[in-house]
Amino acid sequence: MAPALQPYRPEHLADLYDVCTRTGDAGDDATGKFSRPELLGHIYVGPYVEHEPELAFVLEDGGRAVGYALGTADTLSFVRWYRDEWLPRLSGVYQEPSEHPTTPDEHLLAVLHTTDRMWHPALAAYPAHLHIDILPSHQGLGFGRRLVEAFLDAARAAGAPAVHLGVAATNTRAQGFYRHLGFEELELGGASTGGLVLGRSTARD
């Protein structure tokens, strides 16, 4: 059977964590980079599929998830939930690192515990935010566009007029993909994000 888009189901979760790891180094494979590779999924997958599973879409091939698009329609609401509900579940296992993290794991723990990274006042007009990852074997085949469009439709139905996302400054391939889909760089008033923030309307072109 050909690869197909599916609504997220809980049985997809382990595969989604795996996809997140295998694309987690600015689009490259992060396997072996962290001693706790599940941290990537705890940051970029787990909270979203629990908080808003209706905004999570999976590319499935041969019974396995090989890509996904997920996020939230209301970033401020999500940040509050992440801080009050998600982090307390993990804090006993994943302690916040020192003020100056040095190792890859410590840097990832700092991201896990830093909720401010997800919001800036300049993003008020772009309340939704999105994450998308696809294994290299399924990139360049049109599935990325279909996943983004599925998310845009769901976010618009949930009341979000526009969406933003972050992309590593070194991931020029992803930047080109997003710009091709109508995303444009957003100005955040000098705030440092460690990459680019792009946004667009949730309305279809």
pLDDT one-digit tens code per residue, 38-71 = 999 999 999 999 999 999 999 999 999 999 999 9
202 Cβ contact partners less than 8 Å away, ≥ 6 residues apart:
128, 152, 153, 155, 156, 160, 161, 162, 163
- Residue 106 backbone phi and psi in degrees, to 5: -65, -40
pLDDT one-digit tens code per residue, 84-116 = 999 999 978 888 877 788 888 998 999 999 888
Place of tokens 């830093």: 114
Q: Which two structure tokens, joined as six digits, stand for 39?
A: 């941290």
Q: What pLDDT does 192 receive?
A: 52
Q: What pLDDT does 127 receive?
A: 97
Cβ-in-10-Å burial (0-12, 13-18, 19+) of 110 comes to middle
Cβ-in-10-Å burial (0-12, 13-18, 19+) of 57 comes to buried
Please give the model's pTM, rounded to 2 decimal places.
0.93
Cα–Cα distances (Å) from 49 to 132, 173, 203, in that order, read: 13, 26, 23
pLDDT one-digit tens code per residue, 126-178 = 999 999 999 999 999 999 999 999 999 999 999 999 999 999 888 888 999 99
Q: What is the rounded average pLDDT of the residues 19-29? A: 90
Sorted by where each starts, the structural domains of the chain and their CATH numbers stand as 4-160 (3.40.630.30)
